[in-house]
Amino acid sequence: MTKVNYWLTKFKESAISTAPIAVLIFAFFFVQKYGLQGSFKEQYYISNNELWAFLISVASIILGMGLFNVGTEQSMTEIGELIGGSLVKKKNFFFVIAMTFILGVLVTIAEPDLAVLSGQIGVDEQVIVWTIGVGVGAFLVIGVLRVFFKMNLNTLFLAFYGLAFTLVYLIDPRFLPICFDSGGVTTGPVTVPFLLGFGLGLAATHGSKNSEDAFGLTALCSVGPVLAVIIIAGIMKASGKALPDAYSISLASDSLGEMIAHGLLHSLKNVALSVVPILLFFIVYELLFIRLSWRMVLRVTLGMVYTYFGLVLFLSAVEYGFMPIAQKVGMSFGSDPKFFPFALILGSLFGVFGVLAEPAVHVLVQQIQDITDGTIKKGTVLAILAASIGAAVALHLVRSYFEFDIMYYLIPGYILAFVLSFCVPPIYTAMAFDSGGVASGPMTSTFVLPFCIGFAVSRGSDPYLYGFGLVAMVAMMPLIVLQALGLVSGIKKANALAKARKRIVEEDDAQVIHFMEEEAEA
């Protein structure tokens, strides 16, 4: 593939990711303006100015995601694989642990999905970002130790999620959905390429032949943020601090130019604080321990530049265009109970389109088809996965409408996921837990979550209890459906093997093949 085609492919992928939601918003704007006049309160109608802001943000997100995807492949994946392979060769165990932890923290704070989530919570963004970064760093260390000491992945999942479900009842209930959302947003477009590269480098250099090693690393790093945010929530509760009583909705201001300028300036600074430390760490580590060619260093540096500008365009567009319009649409449907069925339909469509348009999901379903030797077709997996994510959004809106605890979903869901984990091959469990982060991609945190928050706010519900929690639901569904597919695949293979044996050996027949009889007949 030529460079021009490669770049065009990346921009095409980002356009496909964004276009379905853009089409739905434009359709809603015209229906609201010409078909539902007088049905909403005046403040819930999308203005022409807001529509223009959304249109510009769509173009900016397509350009930003394209640059970002090129940059991460050229930098984050390379950095992860190079350092992951290099660390295994070091004889100093404590050095390996320290470097792994630092890398996990630095990569996490550059995650755009995390920046979007922390900006919606209403407390100090840096506290949330660094807390989650420490959680990922700690569990990246645990992931490395698992590879070295051959720890069982199912046992680790059961132990850490069991601990999380025990501790959540000691914190402020309003923090509970945020804790589980944090696990879904951390494994996003920055973290996943790095972790996959790191896992591949680690497994290859360590001589591991277990494909579960590369998959399970990402899954473990989803648990760390949950426990880290639970700890911070417990500290806040002990010190008398709490989440804000009133939630601030970031609707668009009057000046389009002012909105765009503010979003760009805010992103230029914050993204620099996230990306520059990773690049500096890589350059120092490379000079001291790897000593690559100058061409390779230049390639990675250029990739980080692409990543930086891609993130700036992406995050600024989310701030001035995507989030405000998503919140307003959610508020429109939450303002009157008669619109609840339409909210379920639209929310489900957002979830389905978000999954179908996510490039990482298509990679995942191809891997499943390859691993099952075609027993489970990728088209089947994609359809079931998309339907399950659409169902997750609908279930979350039902919870928001009737105002019941998210644990009524999470506890039975994770119990079922863990039961299935002991009934399927380990590779399915590793892929299923990894896929939770893949399914909760950029569109979930930047659009579907603000939509759900707006829905809860306009109903007068507490958005911390009934708006947040959407990402947790989206991340949980693949754990169940992909392991269920693994179980179906196992049953199909067992049945096929049984039929094959029956064809080869007739009942009560000691002979395998009747060579003599065939010769006699001839």
**5 falls within a domain:** no
pLDDT band at 510 (very low <50, low <70, confident <90, very high): low
| Range of weakest confidence among 110-114, 225-229, 392-396 | 110-114
Q: Using an 8 Å Cβ cutoff, are 136 and 186 in contact?
A: yes
pLDDT band at 520 (very low <50, low <70, confident <90, very high): very low
| Range of weakest confidence among 86-90, 251-255, 338-342 | 251-255
Q: Which domain holds residue 399?
A: 335-495
- Which helix (DSSP H) or strand (DSSP E) does residue 386 occupy? helix 378-402
pTM (2 d.p.): 0.84
From the number of C-beta atoms within 10 Å of its C-beta (0-12, 13-18, 19+), residue 171 rates as buried
Q: Which of 178, 116, 191 is nearest to 446 (CA)?
A: 116
Q: Using an 8 Å Cβ cutoff, are 320 and 263 in contact?
A: yes
Question: Taken in order 189, 193, 194, 195, is the CA torsion positive or negative?
Answer: positive
Q: Which of 72, 76, 53 is nearest to 14 (CA)?
A: 72
Please work out, in degrees rounded to the nearest 5, the angle formed at the alpha carbon of residue 117 by the alpha carbons of 116 and 122: 110
**CB contact set of 447 (below 8 Å; sequence gap of 6+):** 21, 322, 323, 326, 350, 354
**482 falls within a domain:** yes
Question: Taken in order 195, 198, 202, 204, is the CA torsion positive or negative?
Answer: positive
For the stretch 361-374, pLDDT in tens is 766 677 667 766 77
- Which helix (DSSP H) or strand (DSSP E) does residue 414 occupy? helix 407-421
Residue 251 has pLDDT above 80, yes or no: no
What is the SS3 string spanning 144-184? HHHHHHCCCHHHHHHHHHHHHHHHHHHCCHHHHHHHHHHHH
Q: Is 303 helix (H, G, I), strand (E, B) or coil?
A: helix
Q: Using an 8 Å Cβ cutoff, are 75 and 307 in contact?
A: yes
Q: Using an 8 Å Cβ cutoff, are 252 and 52 in contact?
A: no
Q: Provide the 8-state DSSP code for 406.
A: T
**431 falls within a domain:** yes
What is the residue-averaged pLDDT of the chain?
82
**Over pLDDT 90: what percentage of the chain?**
19
Q: Which of 313, 311, 303, 261 is nearest to 282 (CA)?
A: 303
Q: What is the mean pLDDT of residues 391-406?
A: 94
Q: Provide the 8-state DSSP code for 53.
A: H
**520 falls within a domain:** no
C-alpha span between 26 and 437 (Å, rounded): 29
Q: Which residue has tokens 């957002």? A: 350
Please work out, in degrees rounded to the nearest 5, the angle formed at the alpha carbon of residue 200 by the alpha carbons of 216 and 229: 40
For the stretch 294-331, pLDDT in tens is 888 898 899 999 989 988 998 888 888 888 898 889 99
Phi then psi for residue 517, to 5 deg, are: -65, -40
Task: Give 3-state DSSP helix, strand, coil % of the chain, rounded to 5.
Answer: 80, 0, 20
DSSP string over 250-265: ----S-HHHHHHHHHH
Q: Is 89 helix (H, G, I), strand (E, B) or coil?
A: coil
| Helices and strands (H and E) in the chain: how many | 23, 0
The half-sphere exposure of 410 on its side-chain side, counting CA atoms within 13 A, is 22
Q: What is the mean pLDDT of residues 220-242?
A: 87
Which amino acid is residue 320, in one-letter code?
Answer: Y
Question: Taken in order 141, 142, 143, 147, is the CA torsion positive or negative?
Answer: positive
**CB contact set of 453 (below 8 Å; sequence gap of 6+):** 120, 247, 249, 327, 330, 463, 467, 468
C-alpha span between 338 and 286 (Å, rounded): 60
Q: What is the pLDDT of residue 86?
A: 78
| Range of weakest confidence among 303-312, 342-351, 424-433 | 424-433
Q: What is the pLDDT of residue 41?
A: 72
**164 falls within a domain:** no
Q: Using an 8 Å Cβ cutoff, are 137 and 101 in contact?
A: yes
Residue 450 has pLDDT above 70, yes or no: yes
Q: What's the first-to-final CA gap in the chain, in angstroms?
A: 58
Inter-helix orientation angle 340-356/449-458, to 10° = 170
Q: Which residue has tokens 């640059």? A: 67
**278 falls within a domain:** no
Domain total in the chain: 1
The two three-digit tokens of residue 55, written as one number? 């249109």
Q: Using an 8 Å Cβ cutoff, are 439 and 478 in contact?
A: yes
Buried b (16+ CB within 10 A) or exposed e, 219-232: bbbbbbbbbbbbbb
